[in-house]
Homo-oligomer: A and B are copies of this chain.
Amino acid sequence: MNEGRSELTARANNKGVDAAVAAARRVIASLLHAGDGSDAEMSEVAERLNAVADYLDEHAPAVRERMVDMWRGEGVTRHDPVTGPENAVAPPLALTGQEDGSIEGVVVLGMPYQGPPGFVHGGISALLLDHTLGVANDWGGPSGMTAELTLRYHRPTPLFEPLTVTGRQVAVDGRKIRAVGTISAGGEVCVSAEGLFVAKRVPRPR
Protein backbone atom coordinates (compact mmCIF):
# COMPACT_ATOMS: atom_id res chain seq x y z
CA MET A 1 0.00 0.00 0.00
CA ASN A 2 1.36 3.34 -1.08
CA GLU A 3 0.96 5.66 1.92
CA GLY A 4 1.39 8.78 -0.21
CA ARG A 5 -1.19 7.78 -2.79
CA SER A 6 -3.77 6.86 -0.17
CA GLU A 7 -4.13 10.40 1.19
CA LEU A 8 -7.45 11.44 -0.31
CA THR A 9 -7.68 14.92 1.13
CA ALA A 10 -5.36 17.92 1.04
CA ARG A 11 -2.65 18.11 3.66
CA ALA A 12 -2.41 21.47 5.44
CA ASN A 13 0.77 23.46 5.02
CA ASN A 14 2.37 25.01 8.07
CA LYS A 15 2.55 28.35 6.30
CA GLY A 16 0.71 30.48 3.77
CA VAL A 17 -3.08 30.64 3.82
CA ASP A 18 -3.37 27.24 5.54
CA ALA A 19 -1.68 28.53 8.70
CA ALA A 20 -3.91 31.62 8.70
CA VAL A 21 -6.97 29.38 8.29
CA ALA A 22 -5.83 27.19 11.20
CA ALA A 23 -5.59 30.38 13.28
CA ALA A 24 -9.08 31.42 12.11
CA ARG A 25 -10.41 28.05 13.35
CA ARG A 26 -8.92 28.89 16.75
CA VAL A 27 -10.70 32.28 16.66
CA ILE A 28 -14.07 30.63 15.83
CA ALA A 29 -13.75 28.20 18.76
CA SER A 30 -12.41 30.84 21.16
CA LEU A 31 -15.27 33.25 20.41
CA LEU A 32 -17.79 30.50 21.13
CA HIS A 33 -15.97 29.45 24.30
CA ALA A 34 -15.87 33.07 25.44
CA GLY A 35 -19.47 34.01 24.66
CA ASP A 36 -20.91 37.17 26.14
CA GLY A 37 -19.94 36.19 29.70
CA SER A 38 -16.23 36.76 29.09
CA ASP A 39 -14.62 40.02 30.19
CA ALA A 40 -12.71 40.25 26.90
CA GLU A 41 -13.11 43.61 25.16
CA MET A 42 -15.29 42.34 22.32
CA SER A 43 -15.63 45.57 20.34
CA GLU A 44 -11.81 45.64 20.15
CA VAL A 45 -11.82 42.00 18.99
CA ALA A 46 -14.38 42.87 16.32
CA GLU A 47 -12.21 45.77 15.15
CA ARG A 48 -9.10 43.59 14.93
CA LEU A 49 -10.95 40.90 12.96
CA ASN A 50 -12.58 43.41 10.60
CA ALA A 51 -9.12 44.91 9.99
CA VAL A 52 -7.78 41.46 9.01
CA ALA A 53 -10.75 40.92 6.64
CA ASP A 54 -10.23 44.38 5.11
CA TYR A 55 -6.53 43.67 4.57
CA LEU A 56 -7.26 40.29 2.93
CA ASP A 57 -9.97 41.78 0.71
CA GLU A 58 -7.59 44.48 -0.53
CA HIS A 59 -5.22 41.76 -1.76
CA ALA A 60 -7.74 39.14 -2.96
CA PRO A 61 -8.13 38.20 -6.61
CA ALA A 62 -11.53 38.74 -8.28
CA VAL A 63 -14.09 36.05 -7.38
CA ARG A 64 -14.23 34.76 -10.95
CA GLU A 65 -10.46 34.44 -11.18
CA ARG A 66 -10.30 32.74 -7.78
CA MET A 67 -13.02 30.25 -8.77
CA VAL A 68 -11.03 29.24 -11.85
CA ASP A 69 -7.90 28.89 -9.73
CA MET A 70 -9.51 26.79 -6.97
CA TRP A 71 -10.92 24.31 -9.50
CA ARG A 72 -7.71 23.95 -11.51
CA GLY A 73 -6.24 20.44 -11.74
CA GLU A 74 -7.87 17.10 -11.00
CA GLY A 75 -6.58 16.43 -7.51
CA VAL A 76 -8.19 16.87 -4.10
CA THR A 77 -9.97 20.12 -3.28
CA ARG A 78 -8.40 22.55 -0.80
CA HIS A 79 -11.47 24.72 -0.24
CA ASP A 80 -14.39 22.44 0.74
CA PRO A 81 -16.16 22.83 4.12
CA VAL A 82 -15.22 19.34 5.37
CA THR A 83 -11.56 18.65 4.52
CA GLY A 84 -10.32 21.94 3.06
CA PRO A 85 -7.19 23.46 4.63
CA GLU A 86 -8.24 26.82 3.09
CA ASN A 87 -11.72 26.73 4.65
CA ALA A 88 -12.03 27.58 8.35
CA VAL A 89 -15.54 26.10 8.47
CA ALA A 90 -13.95 22.64 7.91
CA PRO A 91 -12.96 20.82 11.15
CA PRO A 92 -10.91 19.61 9.01
CA LEU A 93 -11.38 15.89 8.35
CA ALA A 94 -8.45 14.06 6.69
CA LEU A 95 -9.45 10.93 4.76
CA THR A 96 -7.22 8.02 3.80
CA GLY A 97 -7.88 5.28 1.24
CA GLN A 98 -7.68 1.73 2.57
CA GLU A 99 -6.48 -1.36 0.70
CA ASP A 100 -9.97 -2.91 0.87
CA GLY A 101 -11.46 -0.02 -1.13
CA SER A 102 -12.97 1.81 1.84
CA ILE A 103 -11.81 5.18 3.17
CA GLU A 104 -11.42 6.40 6.72
CA GLY A 105 -10.55 9.39 8.84
CA VAL A 106 -10.46 10.36 12.50
CA VAL A 107 -11.58 13.77 13.74
CA VAL A 108 -12.33 15.46 17.06
CA LEU A 109 -15.15 18.02 16.89
CA GLY A 110 -15.35 20.93 19.30
CA MET A 111 -18.04 23.37 20.39
CA PRO A 112 -18.66 25.00 16.97
CA TYR A 113 -20.15 21.68 15.79
CA GLN A 114 -22.53 21.18 18.74
CA GLY A 115 -26.18 20.16 18.41
CA PRO A 116 -27.65 18.70 21.62
CA PRO A 117 -25.71 19.62 24.80
CA GLY A 118 -22.25 18.03 24.55
CA PHE A 119 -23.00 16.20 21.29
CA VAL A 120 -22.39 16.75 17.59
CA HIS A 121 -25.17 18.47 15.58
CA GLY A 122 -27.04 15.92 13.45
CA GLY A 123 -26.60 18.16 10.43
CA ILE A 124 -22.83 18.29 10.95
CA SER A 125 -22.77 14.47 10.93
CA ALA A 126 -24.75 14.66 7.67
CA LEU A 127 -22.20 17.14 6.25
CA LEU A 128 -19.25 14.90 7.14
CA LEU A 129 -20.94 11.78 5.76
CA ASP A 130 -22.15 13.35 2.51
CA HIS A 131 -18.61 14.48 1.79
CA THR A 132 -17.03 11.19 2.88
CA LEU A 133 -19.34 9.16 0.63
CA GLY A 134 -18.38 11.42 -2.27
CA VAL A 135 -14.66 10.88 -1.59
CA ALA A 136 -15.31 7.12 -1.17
CA ASN A 137 -16.74 7.11 -4.70
CA ASP A 138 -13.63 8.89 -6.00
CA TRP A 139 -11.48 6.20 -4.32
CA GLY A 140 -13.62 3.19 -5.17
CA GLY A 141 -14.65 3.80 -8.76
CA PRO A 142 -16.80 6.26 -10.70
CA SER A 143 -18.03 9.28 -8.74
CA GLY A 144 -20.77 11.86 -9.11
CA MET A 145 -23.20 14.17 -7.38
CA THR A 146 -25.50 13.30 -4.47
CA ALA A 147 -29.06 12.46 -5.60
CA GLU A 148 -30.36 11.02 -2.32
CA LEU A 149 -28.85 10.68 1.13
CA THR A 150 -30.36 8.88 4.12
CA LEU A 151 -28.94 9.24 7.60
CA ARG A 152 -29.80 7.10 10.60
CA TYR A 153 -28.93 8.35 14.05
CA HIS A 154 -28.30 5.39 16.38
CA ARG A 155 -26.91 7.23 19.41
CA PRO A 156 -25.68 10.76 20.15
CA THR A 157 -22.23 11.51 18.67
CA PRO A 158 -19.93 12.96 21.35
CA LEU A 159 -18.02 16.23 21.06
CA PHE A 160 -14.38 16.38 22.21
CA GLU A 161 -13.72 12.65 21.48
CA PRO A 162 -12.07 10.95 18.48
CA LEU A 163 -14.68 10.04 15.88
CA THR A 164 -13.95 7.53 13.14
CA VAL A 165 -15.60 8.41 9.84
CA THR A 166 -15.75 5.70 7.15
CA GLY A 167 -17.08 5.43 3.62
CA ARG A 168 -17.28 2.76 0.97
CA GLN A 169 -18.68 2.50 -2.54
CA VAL A 170 -21.00 -0.52 -2.63
CA ALA A 171 -22.59 -0.59 -6.09
CA VAL A 172 -22.37 0.92 -9.57
CA ASP A 173 -25.28 0.40 -11.96
CA GLY A 174 -24.91 2.48 -15.10
CA ARG A 175 -24.86 6.12 -13.94
CA LYS A 176 -26.22 5.20 -10.49
CA ILE A 177 -23.63 4.85 -7.75
CA ARG A 178 -24.28 3.74 -4.17
CA ALA A 179 -22.07 4.35 -1.17
CA VAL A 180 -22.42 3.84 2.57
CA GLY A 181 -20.62 5.25 5.59
CA THR A 182 -20.59 5.59 9.35
CA ILE A 183 -19.45 7.82 12.19
CA SER A 184 -18.33 5.85 15.25
CA ALA A 185 -17.11 6.73 18.73
CA GLY A 186 -15.42 4.22 21.04
CA GLY A 187 -16.13 1.41 18.59
CA GLU A 188 -19.90 2.05 18.45
CA VAL A 189 -21.70 3.38 15.39
CA CYS A 190 -23.41 6.70 16.15
CA VAL A 191 -24.62 7.61 12.65
CA SER A 192 -24.88 5.58 9.45
CA ALA A 193 -25.52 6.87 5.94
CA GLU A 194 -26.41 5.52 2.56
CA GLY A 195 -26.26 7.61 -0.54
CA LEU A 196 -27.33 7.40 -4.14
CA PHE A 197 -25.09 9.36 -6.48
CA VAL A 198 -25.45 10.09 -10.17
CA ALA A 199 -22.40 10.12 -12.43
CA LYS A 200 -22.54 13.73 -13.59
CA ARG A 201 -20.55 16.86 -12.91
CA VAL A 202 -21.12 20.59 -12.83
CA PRO A 203 -18.63 22.09 -15.33
CA ARG A 204 -15.54 23.66 -13.78
CA PRO A 205 -15.15 27.41 -14.15
CA ARG A 206 -12.57 28.41 -16.78
A contacts, CB < 8 Å to B: 15-24, 26-40, 42-43, 45-50, 52-53, 55-61, 63, 66-67, 69-71, 78-82, 86-89, 111-119, 121-124, 126-131, 134, 145-153, 156, 201-205
Choose one: B30, B59, B113; the contact of A57 (CB below 8 Å): B30
Also in contact, A46 and B34, with CB within 8 A (given A122-B145, A128-B123): no
Residue of B at shortest CB range from A62?
A: B33
Residues on B with beta carbons closer than 8 Å to the beta carbon of A128: 123
Count chain B CB atoms within 10 A of each CB in A37, A134, A149 and give the residue with the most: A149
Residues on B with beta carbons closer than 8 Å to the beta carbon of A22: 46
Residues on B with beta carbons closer than 8 Å to the beta carbon of A48: 48, 52
Interface of A (DSSP majority class): helix
A118 pairs with B205, CB closer than 8 A: yes
Count chain B CB atoms within 10 A of each CB in A78, A79, A203 and give the residue with the most: A79
Also in contact, A19 and B43, with CB within 8 A (given A113-B89, A116-B202, A123-B126): yes
Also in contact, A38 and B19, with CB within 8 A (given A28-B24, A121-B127): no
A79 pairs with B30, CB closer than 8 A: no
Count chain B CB atoms within 10 A of each CB in A15, A58, A126, A145 and give the residue with the most: A126
Residues on B with beta carbons closer than 8 Å to the beta carbon of A134: 122
A81 pairs with B31, CB closer than 8 A: no
Residues on B with beta carbons closer than 8 Å to the beta carbon of A66: 33-35, 37
Residues on B with beta carbons closer than 8 Å to the beta carbon of A146: 122, 151, 153
Residues on B with beta carbons closer than 8 Å to the beta carbon of A18: 36
B33 pairs with A15, CB closer than 8 A: no
Question: Shortest Cβ distance from A159 into chain B, in angstroms?
Answer: 10
B153 pairs with A147, CB closer than 8 A: yes
Assembly CA distance A29 to B45 (angstroms): 17
B56 pairs with A45, CB closer than 8 A: yes
Assembly CA distance A118 to B203 (angstroms): 9
